Structure 1
């Protein structure tokens, strides 16, 4: 877990989960924009940057168990979870696990760029035949800088992480049911092939709390081009006091 901004006096805590192949640093811009009102924590998955010597976790349920154990129940301020793409699935699974603890359920769950589980049948799971196909997919989605994919040494470091993340996605089945009571907000881009607008609506079936969607202009990584808009939306959604 990386603390992107240390704010002992911040009104609330926001835990961010990056996409497949991503790292905690992806959320640095959001963290700086929300400072000093929000204490932003970004999850650093095994196998990248300061956790480079650890093997990637190829099971999203196991990874959710590990993250939930580290987080535990929140302290004396409210907590929200935000995840993009693979990170959205992981944020959901972590929220489910935290909800089993007394006082552990987050007060807000924001899911970005991810189909609801009920819509997953409308999409064939991506199973790359080889590394070249995996790299082509990353180029197409736009989440990894092309300069990194073009650098053989960097690619050698990135590929084990990508393989592990996509194996985790290939085998993932969601924890089914209306298991949350917190508000859930689903975000997507209006040209996102991974999370069409109609396919994010089903997230409403996973909470008895409020549900809403918000659509930005852009593709799967609309967050890169709409950073200011995303920041202001998230700021307006976040709980600012406990209770």
Structure 2
């Protein structure tokens, strides 16, 4: 490293300065008032808050879908992405702290499921108002051994092939090699968040927990999804849908119907 050249730091800008832990950075579609029911949605590896943008129009007007934008993507592309779960969760907990009051729920898919779960535990640790419900999808329960093939260090072509096999990424994007070269560092960092995670035993949450899965998802089978039940003392429910890892794209309306219910009392 050349002397005097600053490297990006997670949650910071390319010149090494702090990005500022404000909710505005994490909530690109606006900060909703805490008096309204809110559903915070955390993206999967390589994805951005835009993945949940269409959901904002699929819920009743008295509920707000809040897509969350972690560093390193979209308008936060100048910030280095996190490659470990703990620091990412700490960043989000700080940035969104004023939102953790009133009636709200957390949802995450795949890597986002892990982030939402650990964020719920961090909220409990800080004594903030807990979410009325935790929703997760597309990921094995965090306390289980990770038996999946690590992807974060694969050669570019092989990694792109793995991403293509999961679905969820448009073919046009996968064919744009220059675009993929820009996206791969973010994808590798997000995969590292998931693949380097080590579960730390804590008492189960009291928060109700619902797990969604795809019948043909090779990354999270039914048995692995059912194991989430051990992580809560509250009501637990699973719901399986036709489809693979990104079944949520075809079943978003059904998912949102279930996620809206606890937010509306």
TM-score normalised by the chain length of structure 1: 0.91
Aligned partners of 2:68 and 2:155: how far apart in 1? Answer: 28
User: CA distance change for structure 1 residues 102 and 6 in 2, over 3 Å: closer, same or farther?
Assistant: closer
> Is the partner of 1:219 in helix, strand or coil?
coil
In the TM superposition, residue 210 of structure 1 has moved relative to its aligned partner by 1.0
Q: Does 1:159 align with 2:192?
A: no
RMSD of equivalent CA atoms: 2.0
Q: Which residues of 2 match residues 1-243 of structure 1 at below 5 A?
A: 1-4=26-29, 8=33, 11-72=36-97, 74=99, 77-236=102-261, 238-240=262-264
Kept in 2, the 8 Å contact 1:84–1:114? The answer is yes
Kept in 1, the 8 Å contact 2:100–2:128? The answer is no
In the TM superposition, residue 125 of structure 1 has moved relative to its aligned partner by 3.7
Kept in 2, the 8 Å contact 1:114–1:200? The answer is yes
Aligned partners of 1:111 and 1:57: how far apart in 2? Answer: 21
> Is the partner of 2:38 in helix, strand or coil?
strand
Count residues with an aligned counterpart. 240
Kept in 2, the 8 Å contact 1:73–1:103? The answer is no
> Is the partner of 1:66 in helix, strand or coil?
helix
Kept in 2, the 8 Å contact 1:179–1:206? The answer is yes
The Cα offsets for residues 135-171 of structure 1, whole Å up to 9 and x where unpaired, read as 1111011122121111122112211111111122221
Unmatched segments (≥5 aa) in structure 1:
none
Q: Which stretch of the first structure deviates more once superposed, 140-149 or 123-132?
A: 123-132
Aligned partners of 1:151 and 1:99: how far apart in 2? Answer: 43
Aligned partners of 2:182 and 2:85: how far apart in 1? Answer: 21
Aligned partners of 1:110 and 1:13: how far apart in 2? Answer: 13
The Cα offsets for residues 183-239 of structure 1, whole Å up to 9 and x where unpaired, read as 011110111111101111111111111111111111100011112222222223x32
Q: Which stretch of the first structure deviates more once superposed, 26-35 or 217-226?
A: 26-35
Aligned partners of 1:4 and 1:175: how far apart in 2? Answer: 33
Aligned partners of 1:207 and 1:127: how far apart in 2? Answer: 30
User: CA distance change for structure 1 residues 136 and 10 in 2, over 3 Å: closer, same or farther?
Assistant: farther
Kept in 2, the 8 Å contact 1:6–1:40? The answer is no
Kept in 2, the 8 Å contact 1:12–1:78? The answer is yes
Aligned partners of 2:134 and 2:236: how far apart in 1? Answer: 10
